[in-house]
Amino acid sequence: MLVLGIETSCDETGVALHDTGRGLLAHAVHTQVAMHEAYGGVVPELASRDHIRRLVPLLDRVLAEAGLGRRDIDAIGYTAGPGLAGALLVGASFAESLALALGIPALPVHHLEGHLLSPLLSGTPPEFPFVALLVSGGHTQLMRVADVGDYELLGESLDDAAGEAFDKTAKLLGLGYPGGPAVAALAEAGRPGRFSLPRPMLGSGDLNFSFSGLKTAVLTAVRQHALDEAGKADLAWEFQEAVAEVLTGKALAALDRTGLAQLVVAGGVGANRRLRARLDEATARRGCRVFYPELALCTDNGAMIAYCAARRLARRQAGDAAGRAGTGAFAIRPRWPLAEA
């Protein structure tokens, strides 16, 4: 079965072709970073209009790369939420219209489920069950994943997500957008010891997160010190270390609580090299394994949506209730708990 994946939840337009027998055949992503950089963040209306411009050329591109035509597509999966309402509508209307024209099914896909399953596209995928750490600009969650569609929320951010804290810290340090890569790059030149920032909720006894206080601590440090470039780098280093320590500590606690030995890390923040280093070291000491998607699949992309749709459709064909969850109706859900996917 050849499945087309469409991703338009925020500021990346992703299109991909996944074949259930041959794997990922082609994928392409257009990022709107340059367009939104002037505004210091995503402008929803501009994002929606740009998705409209990009979808058809990206579809033609992946079909050409795979040596296929539109009539070869057997099904379409598209991101129905969560995300920006206008951006989601663009992808949903495009996917449903194309599916209607081709006479094939269209399946709404949960954006976070796509991220959660994206490591399964790698050469050495994890096996069910596992613990998943989802870390992105809008979400920080720990999930117990028993199978496709069988997710238990273990903990989540009570305020700012980790990626959101990176973006806000970048603004405080006078860096560009997006904040995560900018802070990480600056931290490379930083030195430990000059600043001491809190590790929020690290010892809370539960699996929830909070990063708003950490961002406030960065604001306080910026106001109290006349920071030169070296000082900004030192503060960026300490901030990144605080986030990585909290995420690692909570992920290990989730493994302990569930008794599982596999950890999946997905979402844009999952590409952070310092976070990966800490997780690799910590899981190795415990005899556990950690899995990441390919770096190109850490940010929003159509490949994860196509793969997720393919897995859901396979379960639908097998008569499984979870596989029938997607009805193909033209509906978006800007707010959509993963447990309801």
> What pLDDT sits at residue 319?
60
pLDDT at residue 325 tops 80: no
DSSP letter string over 64-89?
A: HHHT--GGG--EEEEEEESS-HHHHH
d(CA 250, CA 25): 36
> What pLDDT sits at residue 327?
42
Greatest mean pLDDT range, 32-41, 178-187, 324-333? 178-187
Q: How many Cα atoms sit within 13 Å of 36 on the Cβ side?
A: 20
What's the chain's average pLDDT? 94
d(CA 336, CA 163): 19
Q: What percent of the chain has pLDDT over 90?
A: 88
- Tell me the average pLDDT across 256-275: 96
CB-CB contact of 266 with 294 (8 Å): no
d(CA 100, CA 116): 29
Backbone angles phi, psi at 39, to 5 degrees: -100, -5
Report which DSSP code applies to 189. Answer: T
CB-CB contact of 79 with 6 (8 Å): yes
- pTM above the 0.75 mark? yes
pLDDT at residue 323 tops 60: no
> What pLDDT sits at residue 341?
81
Amino acid letter at 275?
L
Q: How many CB atoms lie within 10 A of CB 74?
A: 16
- Within the chain, residue ranges assigned H as helices are 33-37, 44-66, 85-102, 111-117, 162-172, 179-187, 212-224, 229-258, 273-286, 302-317
Q: How many CB atoms lie within 10 A of CB 150?
A: 12
Structure tokens at 341: 């996917």
Tell me the pLDDT tens digit for each residue of 18-54: 999 999 999 999 999 999 988 888 999 999 999 999 9
Q: How far is CA 266 from each of CA 134, 168, 211, 278, 331, rounded to the nearest angstrom? A: 5, 21, 18, 15, 26
User: Which residue in this structure is represented by tokens 């379409």?
Assistant: 76
Q: What percent of the chain has pLDDT over 70?
A: 96
> What pLDDT sits at residue 339?
79
Handedness of CA 223, 39, 165, 121 (dihedral sign): negative
302: Cβ contacts below 8 Å, ≥ 6 apart: 4, 5, 6, 7, 14, 15, 16, 27, 28, 29, 62
DSSP-derived pairing of the beta strands 2-7 and 106-110: unpaired
Domains of the chain: 2-117+297-340 (3.30.420.40), 127-292 (3.30.420.40)
Q: How far is CA 277 from each of CA 189, 192, 203, 248, 271, rounded to the nearest angstrom? A: 17, 16, 21, 10, 11
Tell me the pLDDT tens digit for each residue of 64-110: 999 999 999 999 999 999 999 999 999 999 999 999 999 999 999 99
d(CA 96, CA 107): 9
